[in-house]
């Protein structure tokens, strides 16, 4: 009976960590709950692990810090030697520290509008260049002349259909219009942003792990 109770006690000390690869924070005292999802059968142990301070940021500037899960496990065992930590998340993770500051909504809207204008102008230029290279107006004029037997005035059902179809195609490709999404799949822009974030995280972790001080690709 006593051996069974001991086994139950050991099982209750098993802590599962699911650490995110990158976490954005705005405070300097980083607790384990800030960067990881934690599970343990013993709620008291889980609460202690959640409140465990794993990192302290000393610099007062925006910066990314690479931390190893081994350091986290070491702090857990120092807090309670009976804890057995099982990591099911990232091995090396990034703490992305940003200095706390009040939100500047006007500046955020200005940046959003500028980005939208740049994207709109760039897409318009690309579409116009494609149309000129493929001589789409000449093709429409020729098709209209062959079918209708007269010259096109430049604004026919072909141009209207092409314009409407182009808009529908763009909305379908990007999978959303304003806040309305066609389905639950991530948009191509979201996919590219996640790939970009993954590449940034991998680069930071690999650069932090380099031991040779004379290797520099920048």
User: Which is higher by pLDDT, 38 or 215?
Assistant: 38
Q: Are 55 and 34 in contact (CB under 8 A)?
A: no
Select from 162, 171, 167 the least CA-distant residue to 136: 162
Q: Are 25 and 46 in contact (CB under 8 A)?
A: no
Supply the pLDDT for residue 34. Answer: 92
Q: What average pLDDT does range 168-179 have in this prediction?
A: 73
Reduced to 3 states (helix: H, G, I; strand: E, B; else coil), residue 153 is: coil
Supply the pLDDT for residue 211. Answer: 57
Residue 36 has phi, psi (to 5 degrees) of -145, 155
Please report the DSSP string for 47-103 in residue order.
HHHHT-EEEE---SS-EEEEEEHHHHHHHHHHH-TT-EEEE-S-SEEEEEE------
Supply the pLDDT for residue 35. Answer: 92
% of the chain beyond a pLDDT of 70: 85
User: Which is higher by pLDDT, 186 or 94?
Assistant: 94
What is the Cα–Cα distance from 196 to 168, expressed in whole angstroms?
27
Using pLDDT thresholds of 50, 70 and 90, give the confidence band for residue 16. very high
Select from 104, 111, 94, 107 the least CA-distant residue to 25: 94
Q: In which residue ranges of the chain is CATH 2.60.480.10 found? A: 2-97
Q: What average pLDDT does range 132-157 have in this prediction?
A: 80
Supply the pLDDT for residue 5. Answer: 45
In the predicted structure, residue 117 carries a pLDDT above the cut 50? yes
Lowest model confidence (mean pLDDT) among 151-155, 177-181, 203-207: 177-181
User: Which is higher by pLDDT, 130 or 15?
Assistant: 15
Lowest model confidence (mean pLDDT) among 60-69, 73-82, 157-166: 157-166
Q: Return the C-alpha torsion angle 53, 58, 61, 67, nearest 10.
A: -50
pLDDT in tens, 24-76: 899 889 999 999 999 988 888 899 999 999 999 988 888 889 899 999 999 99
Number of helical H runs and strand E runs in the chain: 8, 10
Extract the tokens encoding 152: 């096109």
Q: Are 94 and 20 in contact (CB under 8 A)?
A: no
In the predicted structure, residue 149 carries a pLDDT above the cut 70? yes
What CATH code would you report for 2-97? Answer: 2.60.480.10
Helix (H) or strand (E) holding 159, with range, is helix 157-174
Using pLDDT thresholds of 50, 70 and 90, give the confidence band for residue 212. low
What is the Cα–Cα distance from 188 to 168, expressed in whole angstroms?
16
């Amino acid at each position: 009976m006593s051996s069974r109770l001991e086994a139950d006690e050991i099982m209750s000390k098993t802590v599962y960590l699911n650490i995110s690869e990158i976490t954005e924070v705005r405070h300097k005292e980083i607790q384990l709950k800030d960067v990881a999802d934690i599970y343990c059968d013993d709620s008291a142990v889980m609460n202690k692990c959640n409140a465990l301070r794993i990192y302290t940021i000393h610099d007062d500037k925006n910066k990314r810090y690479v931390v190893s899960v081994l350091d986290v496990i070491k702090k857990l065992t120092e807090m309670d030697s009976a804890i057995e930590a099982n990591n099911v998340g990232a091995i090396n993770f990034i703490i992305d520290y940003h200095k706390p500051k009040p939100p500047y909504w006007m500046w955020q809207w200005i940046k959003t509008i500028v980005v939208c204008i740049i994207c709109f102008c760039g897409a318009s230029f690309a579409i116009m260049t494609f149309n000129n290279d493929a001589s789409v107006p000449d093709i429409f004029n020729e098709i209209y002349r062959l079918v209708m037997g007269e010259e096109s005035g430049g604004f026919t059902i072909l141009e209207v259909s092409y314009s409407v179809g182009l808009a529908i195609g763009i909305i379908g490709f990007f999978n959303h219009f304003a806040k309305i999404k066609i389905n639950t799949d991530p948009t191509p822009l979201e996919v590219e942003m996640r790939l970009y974030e993954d590449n940034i995280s991998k680069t930071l972790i690999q650069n932090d792990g380099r031991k040779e001080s004379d290797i520099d690709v920048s």
